[in-house]
């Protein structure tokens, strides 16, 4: 079933165009009704990042939830994983994060978490969508049963303590100079404070949000600023979060970027050595580098692959009983600690390994040579180019061309009319040739449509 509002990570779009006050009001009413179970006083916690439109959406959500009788606890700017954690620890019936993650300020979104802190299932999102398109006038609360809303204090300290407890009690970051880039986003207060409390010498950038500068030339999607700062300050490590802090990219002491695949390798190996892997395997997506798969295999660790999206990674982790998974983009899910990706906690796991080994980050975080990986996007106007006989033939020929020395991945984007063609293998020229064969066929099919 094609869904009208929800995508792979909540509802997301241009603020005040797709994500309007009217839409947020409907989400609040519909989700509030779906999560009213029993006679107790129901409550929802709402966090947000630092976008200008967050105020507008927050107020509309409050109106929606209170109109169906739910009490609202407002957290203010907080990382997405903190909202998920607080939903569970505060025994709320529902959690909401207002964020468009790594997108620029023009966009915004609404992510929902159930009472256990997990993102909602497709079935529950479908129920909410159906209610959003219904007239709910007769299901609104009576005047005396309307919900109350209030801002709560102390939530920053609760998340800081939670994050610190993911490390061994005797572990200190003394002697480490850390540059942290909070992307002018949701983590701008909590993460520098937590690193300082752990003993690090902290240099903070991306901690002056103004409503417009979230993710702009900073954060995990633009690590160049962090790289320059690490070299300038002669720091030991750089940590780049995105706007809602559910993903992380590391920069080593030389200013070189370390992606999520390398971080997964570091954490997986460390956890295996400590006997902390629940199974001899981890979960990643089809986009993770073949080099990661080969490295893990040498360590006796299996790599299971899922479609792109952290929700699919988490589903496979739950299904198979795995406690570590993630994406190349830096979404790292550690189910022993959290119910969703947590960029800061992932960074702490890496810092723990760096401290224990006493070696430079460039050595600790370079576990394998990435295979040459080439990704090209083909935009199309109409139709289904992947069903074209010429495209199908080109894909078969391209796979034959690689002859088992690499792999080809072709997938349509879930958010725009684009086909993504990715190839990787030992021979870069051969991979590029195979990718170009498919791109050319897609271009021809698109032009003929």
Query: pLDDT digits over 423-449, tens only?
Result: 999 899 999 999 999 999 999 988 876
pLDDT of residue 1: 54
Catalytic-residue membership of 101: yes
Residue 414 has pLDDT above 70, yes or no: no
Residue 248 has pLDDT above 90, yes or no: yes
Q: What is the pLDDT of residues 300-350, one digit of tens each?
A: 999 999 998 888 999 999 999 999 999 999 999 999 999 999 999 999 999
By the 8 A CB rule, do 117 and 83 touch?
A: no
Count the Cβ atoms, other than its own, within 10 Å of residue 417. 14
Structure tokens that stand for 407 in this block: 């792999």
By the 8 A CB rule, do 84 and 115 touch?
A: no
For the chain, list the domains and their CATH numbers. 11-153 (3.40.120.10), 158-254 (3.40.120.10), 260-359 (3.40.120.10), 373-448 (3.30.310.50)
pLDDT of residue 58: 98
Over residues 277-294, mean pLDDT: 95
pLDDT of residue 43: 97
List the one residue out of 307, 271, 364 whose CA is nearest residue 282: 271
Annotated binding site: 101, 242, 244, 246
pLDDT of residue 328: 93
The beta-carbon contacts of 369-373 under 8 Å, at least 24 apart in sequence, are: 369/291, 370/261, 370/289, 370/291, 370/292, 371/289, 371/290, 371/291, 371/406, 371/424, 371/425, 371/426, 372/424, 372/425, 372/426, 372/427, 372/428, 372/431, 373/289, 373/422, 373/423, 373/424, 373/431
How does the average pLDDT of the chain come out, rounded? Answer: 95
Spell out the residues 6+ positions from residue 118 whose beta carbon is closer than 8 angstroms to its own. 84, 314, 339, 340
Q: What is the pLDDT of residues 120-159, one digit of tens each?
A: 998 999 999 999 999 999 999 999 999 999 999 989 999 9
Spell out the residues 6+ positions from residue 189 whose beta carbon is closer than 8 angstroms to its own. 77, 156, 207
pLDDT of residue 192: 98
Q: What is the pLDDT of residues 177-217, one digit of tens each?
A: 999 999 999 999 999 999 999 999 999 999 999 999 999 99
Annotated binding site for Mg(2+): 101, 242, 244, 246
Give the active site residue among 101, 220, 227, 288: 101
- pTM exceeds 0.75, yes or no: yes
Q: Distance between CA atoms of 373 and 407, rounded to whole angstroms?
A: 10
Three-state DSSP at 241 gives strand
Share of the chain above pLDDT 90, in %: 89
Q: Distance between CA atoms of 102 and 19, rounded to whole angstroms?
A: 16
Spell out the residues 6+ positions from residue 197 whose beta carbon is closer than 8 angstroms to its own. 160, 164
pLDDT of residue 415: 64
Q: Using CA atoms in the order 180, 183, 184, 190, what is the torsion angle rounded to 10 degrees?
A: -50
């Amino acid at each position: 079933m094609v869904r009208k509002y929800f995508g792979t990570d909540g509802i997301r779009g241009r603020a005040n165009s797709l994500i309007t006050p009217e839409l947020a009001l409907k989400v609040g009413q519909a989700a509030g009704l779906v999560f009213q179970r029993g006679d107790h006083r129901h409550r929802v916690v709402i966090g947000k990042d630092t976008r200008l439109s967050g105020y507008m959406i927050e107020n509309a959500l409050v109106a929606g939830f209170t109109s169906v009788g739910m009490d609202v606890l407002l957290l203010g700017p907080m990382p997405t994983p903190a909202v998920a954690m607080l939903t569970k620890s505060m025994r709320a019936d529902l959690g909401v994060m207002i964020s468009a993650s790594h997108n620029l300020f023009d966009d915004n979104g609404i992510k929902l978490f159930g009472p256990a802190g997990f993102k909602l299932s497709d079935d529950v999102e479908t129920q909410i969508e159906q209610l959003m398109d219904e007239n709910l006038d007769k299901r609104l609360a009576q005047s005396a049963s309307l919900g109350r809303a209030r801002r709560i204090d102390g939530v920053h300290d609760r998340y800081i303590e939670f994050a610190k407890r993911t490390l061994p009690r005797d572990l200190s970051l003394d002697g480490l100079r850390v540059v942290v880039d909070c992307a002018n986003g949701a983590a701008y207060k909590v993460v520098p404070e937590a690193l300082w409390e752990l003993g690090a010498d902290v240099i903070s950038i991306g901690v002056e949000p103004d409503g417009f500068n979230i993710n702009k030339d900073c954060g995990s999607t633009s690590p160049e600023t962090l790289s320059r700062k690490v070299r300038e300050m002669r720091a030991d490590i750089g940590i780049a979060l995105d706007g809602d802090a559910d993903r992380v990219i590391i920069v080593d002491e030389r200013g070189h970027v370390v992606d999520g695949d390398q971080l997964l390798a570091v954490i997986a190996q460390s956890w295996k050595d400590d006997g902390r892997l629940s199974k001899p395997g981890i979960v990643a997506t089809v986009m993770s580098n073949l080099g990661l798969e080969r490295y893990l295999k040498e360590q006796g660790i299996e790599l299971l692959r899922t479609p792109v999206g952290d929700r699919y990674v988490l589903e496979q982790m739950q299904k198979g009983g795995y406690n570590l998974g993630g994406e190349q983009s830096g979404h790292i899910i550690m189910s022993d600690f959290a119910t969703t990706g947590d960029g800061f906690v992932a960074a702490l796991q890496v810092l723990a390994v760096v401290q224990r080994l006493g070696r430079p980050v460039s050595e600790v975080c370079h576990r394998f040579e990435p295979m040459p990986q080439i990704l090209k996007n083909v935009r199309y106007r109409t139709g289904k180019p992947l069903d074209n006989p010429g495209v199908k033939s080109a894909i078969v020929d391209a796979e034959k061309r690689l002859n088992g020395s690499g792999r080809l991945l072709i997938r349509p984007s879930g958010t725009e009319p684009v086909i993504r063609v990715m190839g990787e293998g030992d021979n870069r020229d051969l991979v590029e040739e195979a990718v170009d064969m498919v791109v050319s066929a897609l271009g021809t099919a698109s032009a003929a449509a």
